[in-house]
A and B are shown apart, each in its own frame.
Chain A
Amino acid sequence: MSTIDTPKERQPLWQRMKHSHHFRSHDEEFDACKIGMWLFLTTEVLLFSGFFCAYAIFRAKYPEAFQNGAHHLDWRWGSLNTGILLLSSFTIAYSIRCAQTNNQFWLKFNLLFTAFCGLAFAGIKFALEYGPKWAQGKRPGAWFDYPNAENASEPMWWSIYYMATGTHLAHVLIGTAVIFVIWYRATKGMYGPKHYTGVEITGLYWHLVDLIWIFLFPLLYLIH
């Protein structure tokens, strides 16, 4: 290896990264981190399964309210947000490839692009969906104040809508913040072919956020 001849302090940071002392190798640390992340993702799926379960049961019991509710959501904003999340999922998957092939510029670019996709998703959600709906009185549960509702159970539809998409939005914002941190570390040269665990597990988290939205989008916006 040519890097052996280079003085340590002149090597890029990712070559100098050491695995934790209780692991045998980088590989073992990488695998352990990944399994840990997958275990965490299962807890996330179980968190959202509560919403999916509530949705299924209340939909079966109050079909009218859910039909009316779905018509208040604009499928165009939902589709746009789906596209944004899918694109961001692609860019973060690509950033892992860039880290593996030591393509530092595109690694940073893809990470930053993904983070801005997250911000765009949140912006559309707040400015074009939550904001106007809240102003019109389409609010969850006890805050419901919409005079044109046709079904007495519509406040509950809005509870499900705000809780499910709100929890998902919280995940988007947390993911965006983490990706900004990963991007900052990437600018310091921390990620490369030998060391990219951070990019990999952040990517897994972001894909899960995308995965949840893939199911929330048709359930809330498209089925009527």
Chain B
Amino acid sequence: MAQDNAGTFDPTDPHGFHANDTHGHVILSPFTLISVLVALMIFTILTVFASRFEVWAAEAFNMEIPQWVNVAIAMSIAVVKGVLVLMFFMQLKYDTPLNTIIFATCLLAFAAFLGFTALDLFTRDSIDREREGEIQAGGMLTEHTRYEEVFNEKTGEWERTKVRLGGGTSIFDRAKNRPRSPDEQRVSGHHEEAAEFSSANRTVRMTGLHLFAPKDEHGESHAGESHDSGEEGGHDEESGDDGH
């Protein structure tokens, strides 16, 4: 090892650059390793608890915590956990600074990538008015119009004409309206899902099978006739709305 040669002339290392190289050979104590593991576990419990607390607060007290708080807490904890892993498990704290510089440069590239891609997110309407606000359900293209130059043979001139794009059935609509066998309906887990659907930001009453019941060729909904008929009668009016 390099240390053995300290003090004597080493023809492969005439200037002694590597004579006392011991970096990268730190032996971490069990105490350090276990402490880091415990800290990581505690932070995991903390971030899960924060997220659950938000749901619980919304359900129990109808208290809506803004979404950015949720995002800020979750991401701060993730960053702390990430730094712990990088510093101790990946030993950047004890390593040559070059490895840290390599990794930091990569994060800088990531920040530039994310930043410049997201640059126009909230200013898209400054050029195209129709891009204002949120993207419409089903995508903007379903209702999108654009202008094309079309040659009019009668007048012998080029004219601007409106062309409608898209407007076909979306994947969403197809999934919603596809007829399903009772077996498939069971697998889709309509009733299992019901409980999952209330959240901090909104509460949704799942109408499940009744809302998107398969229809026959006359367009009539068969809600309530399937295997789980005779549940709460409140669903009937919704299936009636949907059928026509």
Contacts and interface: CB of A to CB of B under 8 A. Distances in A.
A205 B228 CA distance: 51
Contact of A90 (B81, B89, B122, B200): B89
Q: Is the interface on chain A under 10, 10 to 19, 20 to 34, or 35 or more residues?
A: 35 or more
Contacts of A49: 109-110, 113-114
Interface string B147-190: 00000000000000000000000111101101010000001111
A81 B99 CA distance: 29
A149 B201 contact: no
A208 to B, nearest CB: 8
A188 interface: no
A34 B113 CA distance: 26
Interface string A115-128: 00000000000000
B18 A147 contact: no
Contacts of B176: 147, 149
Contacts of B8: none
B78 A214 contact: yes
A38 B102 contact: yes
Interface in A1-37: 24-28, 30-31, 34-35
B102 A52 contact: no
A53 B118 CA distance: 8
Interface residues of B, number: 86
B106 to A, nearest CB: 4
Interface stretch (B133-141, B216-224, B231-239): B133-141
Given A35-B102, A149-B176, A142 B171 contact: yes
Contacts of B109: 46, 49
A112 interface: no
B114 A148 contact: no
Interface in B185-208: 187-190, 193, 196-197, 199-202, 204, 206, 208
Interface string A40-60: 011001100100110011001
A82 to B, nearest CB: 5
Please provide the 7 A-B residue pairs with the shortest distance between their CB atoms, ordered closest to farther.
A42-B106, A218-B74, A222-B51, A152-B172, A90-B37, A152-B137, A152-B138
Given A41-B106, A93-B89, 20 more contacts: A24-B13, A27-B24, A38-B102, A42-B103, A61-B121, A75-B48, A86-B37, A96-B28, A97-B28, A136-B187, A144-B172, A145-B175, A145-B178, A148-B206, A214-B78, A214-B85, A218-B77, A218-B78, A222-B70, A224-B200
